[in-house]
Structure 1
Amino acid sequence: MLGGTFDPIHHGHLRSAIELREALGLDHVRLIPCHQPPHREAPGVSSEERLAMLEVAIAGEPGLMADDRELFREGPSYSADTLASLRAEYGPQARLVMAIGHDAFLKLGEWHAAERLFDDAHVVVIERPDHDAPLPPALEALIAGREVETVQALMARPGGQLLRLSLPTRMAISATFVRERLALGDSVRYLLPETVIRHIEAHDLYRPQSE
């Protein structure tokens, strides 16, 4: 599971998904658009449009799947609830992984029902090589005794452990930067898949600001 607002989906998201699948030996990666983000204001583009951009971005890419389950659940889109639904779908012995970036990891101790995340899945943190600050006390307590050092150790169990993982490519693209360029009418070529750019243009999303 790789969740996010995907507002819009960009090459940084997509490259991380592919490298996660390869590094962890996953059958597939489910990219799950967040319907109602609990920790930030709602995106300016609808969940349906964000899902549509995701679908055109990964069309034909083996191992990447768009998952719309959060769009049909009322209330905030809590990851604990999403993982519980995936665990119910895949059964008790499947090895499930939730991947998050380092910034989100630092706030994990504040997430809704954070302990439940480990009841249903492993957590894999996409590391930032330049970040070595101490962890918040709540996070230290949450992950105590859970951290493993290798993919093999992680995959020995269905869930409950944490692995910090450095990916080969760390593309410094942010959705905020993409939206700012789109709002100004500036080029976003090579930041997004061409299929996503065409969808944005066809549906008049992130329109340029008027003078």
Structure 2
Amino acid sequence: MSHQRPLAILGGTFDPIHNGHLRAAWEAAEALDAEVRMVPARTPPHRPPPIADAAGRVALLRAALSGQERLILDTRELDRDGPSYTVDTLASLRAEIGPERPLVLLVGADAFAGLASWHLWRDLFNLAHVGVLTRPGGAHPLPVELEAFVAPRRAARVQGPVGSVVGIDITPLDIAATAIRESFAGGGEPRYLMPDPCFADPALLDPYRALGL
């Protein structure tokens, strides 16, 4: 059977999308030779609602992703009612791409350390690999239960459709959406933290500029 190029997904609130998100996704795409889908989340249950509504966050993402074809916008979590569980997102992708194509869930090392608190977390490995985005020198020790579960699954690279944990080294860009929102609230213009196309249409940034009013 011919090698099928992996499909990877990076989820997040993307409130707003910034160069840290995009660079991590791009480096993962190169490391895995994968197509990467950016999956904006609905209002997450465990944190305050995003500043921009779903349509606003999607419009910014669409602008940010213009001019390249490796990172793709995927709005399936916004199109679905109810809570956005990662396991459901992976199941819907798996149903689309069939059982053979490698599917990779991209998570930051800090989020990965908390994986055992996720809904049906063990089932994630029946649907996909997990690619852990790791910054040089960043250490996130895993809880005992999670370490015992993932230890035999660690692999140097993605092989087969599901089941392994692969580390992906990324460039440490210390950019936070929180700091970007604070910049807007103070009347700033956080250029070069967000991609240039996000500034091309001033209306795209109105929800964040309104923070300073």
Q: In 1, distance between residues paired with 2:135 and 2:64?
A: 25
Q: What's the CA shift for 1:203?
A: 5.5
Alpha-carbon contact 1:10-1:173 (below 8 Å) kept: yes
Q: In 1, distance between residues paired with 2:154 and 2:206?
A: 45
Alpha-carbon contact 2:198-2:205 (below 8 Å) kept: no
Q: What's the CA shift for 1:47?
A: 1.3
- TM-score of the superposed pair, with normalisation by structure 2: 0.90
Q: In 2, distance between residues paired with 1:200 and 1:109?
A: 41
Alpha-carbon contact 1:70-1:77 (below 8 Å) kept: yes
> Does 1:165 pair with 2:172?
no
Aligned with residue 80 of structure 1, among 71, 87, 94: 87
Q: What are the residue-to-residue correspondences of 1:108-119 with 2, within 5 Å?
A: 108-119=115-126
Q: In 2, distance between residues paired with 1:101 and 1:200?
A: 31
Q: What are the residue-to-residue correspondences of 1:60-209 with 2, within 5 Å?
A: 60-148=67-155, 150-151=156-157, 154=158, 156-167=159-170, 169-199=171-201, 201-202=203-204, 204-206=206-208, 207-209=210-212
Q: Who is 2:10 aligned against?
A: 2
Distance 1:22-1:133 versus aligned 2 partners, 3 A rule:
closer
Q: What's the CA shift for 1:44?
A: 2.0
Q: In 1, distance between residues paired with 2:109 and 2:194?
A: 22
Q: In 1, distance between residues paired with 2:110 and 2:74?
A: 23
Q: What's the CA shift for 1:16?
A: 1.1
Alpha-carbon contact 1:110-1:138 (below 8 Å) kept: no
Alpha-carbon contact 1:53-1:199 (below 8 Å) kept: no
Q: Who is 1:36 aligned against?
A: 43
Matched-pair identity in % = 46
Distance 1:171-1:203 versus aligned 2 partners, 3 A rule:
closer
Alpha-carbon contact 2:110-2:140 (below 8 Å) kept: no
RMSD: 1.6
> Does 1:45 pair with 2:52?
yes
- TM-score of the superposed pair, with normalisation by structure 1: 0.91
Distance 1:200-1:139 versus aligned 2 partners, 3 A rule:
farther
Q: In 2, distance between residues paired with 1:202 and 1:109?
A: 36
